[in-house]
Amino acid sequence: MAITIKDIANKAGLSPASVSRILTNRGRFNEDTAIRVRELAHSMGYLKNQSAADLSQQKSRIIGILVPIEHTNFADEIIKGMQNKAHEFGYELLITFIDVNESQQIQTVQSLLSRQILAIFMLAIDMSPAVFKLLINSKVQLLSISNQLDSQIPSISSDNYVMMKKIVDYLVSHGHKKIALIGSSSQFPIVAQLRRQGFIDGLAAHGISYNPDFIWGTTLSYQTGLETIKHFGLPLPFTAAIGSADIISIGLLNSAKDANLDIPNDLSIISIDGTELTQITRPVLTTIQQNFQLMGELAITTLHENKFTEEKVIFTKTKIVPGKTVAINYESI
């Protein structure tokens, strides 16, 4: 049987109430006895029973994190950012991987909900309607990170529309006019829509009308990148391509190599995300880097400061990190 507050109270000649106040630093108590109690607790090897505390307080300090099981590597960076701040403010992160199986999703979410969770953060996830309903009804604080969902649910992400315009500006300033967007042609997530619109508007701002065929590929996968060259055939009808995720860009790079293309002279590539994965390719990828770690930190601090009622949509900055995969296109100049 483990040591309880009662045991400490007995040994200290105090009531459980006092010990509780001291150990949680709540309410009034004498600092001298406090020192004694803390000492005692430590020497007796006391460990708080968090279930009892949660039950008593009808709430916990747990934040549930939903991560897609096929998670892109940037999820780790977001979690890292959250972890830093969570530790600082005394939150616990309950990380759960969810897969596409809806019944499993529901079970997972319910098991989170049954612990009087403080909030649920969703990483790059598009919910199925059933799960969505479950979450909405649960009244816990929701937050979508690196993706935007319903406008009701607060989100932290990059401004995908603006980001895409920045990318187009960058490529156009390097002489590119025929540009492809790979991996953002699906209807969901909303991020894909925003990116498409930013892409189209970005081109239009330079007086370039976009070619619908150049928006291709539905999934953010290596395979999508790998199939790009084959899909369009040689010679490629564009001089630059935007990979909607690092793993796509790597696939694209590899398929270009397999087709004996010279990167960046035969094809310029710029990658969205800019995780460390982009540093291990040859040539090193030019990217627009999202600040995932900051997203994670903001998620926690904003929750902690209870700011989600005021700010529904929070953007973090992106920056272009030049690598060796974008060349100047002299032909069009």
Residues at the contact surface with DNA, assessed by CB under 7 A: 1-2, 4-6, 9, 13-18, 20-21, 23-24, 26-30, 33-34, 46, 48-49, 52-53, 55-58
Q: How many whole angstroms separate alpha carbon 59 and alpha carbon 190? A: 33
Give the one residue of 4, 34, 97, 266 binding a copy of itself; rule: CB under 8 A.
97
Site for a copy of itself in 61-90 (CB under 8 A): 69, 71, 73, 76, 79-80, 83, 87
Residue 52 within binding range of a copy of itself, rule CB under 8 A: yes
- Kindly state the smallest distance separating residue 322's Cβ from DNA, in Å: 52
43 interacts with a copy of itself by CB under 8 A: no
Burial pattern 221-245, b for ≥16 Cβ within 10 A else e, equals: bbebbbbbbeebeeebebbbbbbbb
Rule CB under 8 A: is residue 93 a binding residue for a copy of itself? yes
Is residue 128 involved in binding a copy of itself (CB under 8 A)?
no
Tell the smallest beta-carbon distance from residue 111 to DNA (Å): 13
Which DSSP helix (H) or strand (E) runs through 215? strand 215-216
| Burial of 26 from C-beta contacts in 10 A (0-12 / 13-18 / 19+) | exposed
Residue 42's binding partner, choosing from a copy of itself, DNA, none, with beta-carbon cut-off 5 to 8 A by kind?
none
Q: Of 315, 273, 310, whose CA–CA distance to 290 is shortest?
A: 273
232 binds, among a copy of itself, DNA, none (CB under 5 to 8 A by kind): none
Which entry of a copy of itself, DNA, none binds 60, CB below 5 to 8 A by partner kind? a copy of itself
Task: Restricting to residues 274-333, name those near a copy of itself by CB under 8 A.
Answer: 279-280, 282
CA distance linking residue 210 with residue 217, whole number of Å: 16
For residue 68, give the 3-state DSSP assignment: strand
- CA separation, residue 88 to residues 59, 144, 318 (Å): 19, 22, 26
The residue written with tokens 């460990």 in the block is 47
Shortest separation between residue 117's beta carbon and DNA, angstroms = 14
Binding-site member from 43, 110, 173, 265 for a copy of itself (CB under 8 A): 110
Considering the rule CB under 8 A, would residue 7 count as an interface residue with a copy of itself? no
**Nearest to residue 291, comparing CAs of 316, 270, 312, 272?**
316
* Distance from C-alpha of 278 to C-alpha of 330, rounded to nearest angstrom: 26
| Number of alpha helices (DSSP H) and beta strands (DSSP E) in the chain | 12, 12
Q: Which CB atom, from 15 or from 223, has the smaller least distance to DNA?
A: 15
Considering only the stretches 99-107, 155-163, 176-184, 207-215, report the one whose residues sit in contact with a copy of itself under the rule CB under 8 A: 99-107
